[in-house]
Amino acid sequence: MSHNHKKIKYAKGGKKAFKEFRKHQHDDKTSEERFVTDMTAALENFNDSQASAELDKKIKFPFRLAMWDLGHCDPKKCSGRKLVRFGLVQELSLHQHFGGLVLSPIGVNCISPSDRSLIVNHGLCVVDCSWAKIDQTPFGKMKCHHLRLLPYLVAANPINYGRPWKLSCAEAYAAALYIVGMKEFGEVLLSKFKWGGSFYTMNKELLDRYAACESSADVIKVQNEYLEVRDVSDSNTDQPADRDPFDINSDEEFYNPNRPLNSQNDDGDDDEDDDDDEKLTCGKDKLILDDYDKDDDVSSDNDSDDDDLEPNCKKTSNTKK
Cβ–Cβ < 8 Å for 300, 267: no
Give the DSSP per-residue string, 172-229. Answer: HHHHHHHHTT-HHHHHHHHTTSTTHHHHHHHHHHHHHHHHT-SSHHHHHHHHHHHHHH
The residue type of 158 is P
Is position 79 annotated in a ligand binding site?
Answer: yes
Is position 150 annotated in a ligand binding site?
Answer: yes
Phi, psi of 299 (to 5 degrees): -80, 125
Cβ–Cβ < 8 Å for 284, 222: no
Q: Provide the sign of the torsion angle of the four alpha carbons 250, 256, 258, 259, taken in this order.
A: positive
First to last CA, the chain: 78
Is position 36 annotated in a ligand binding site?
Answer: no
Cβ–Cβ < 8 Å for 43, 177: no
What are the C-alpha distances in Å from 259 to residues 149, 157, 274? 29, 10, 19
Cβ–Cβ < 8 Å for 146, 101: yes
DSSP β-bridge partners for residue 65: 124
Q: Which helix (H) or strand (E) holds 103?
A: strand 101-103
Is position 222 annotated in a ligand binding site?
Answer: no
Nearest 10 degrees: Cα torsion 153, 198, 200, 159: 30
Cα atoms in the Cβ-side hemisphere of radius 13 Å centred on 10? 11
Question: Which residues are part of a known binding site for S-adenosyl-L-methionine?
Answer: 79, 127, 150, 165
Question: Which residues are part of a known binding site?
Answer: 79, 127, 150, 165
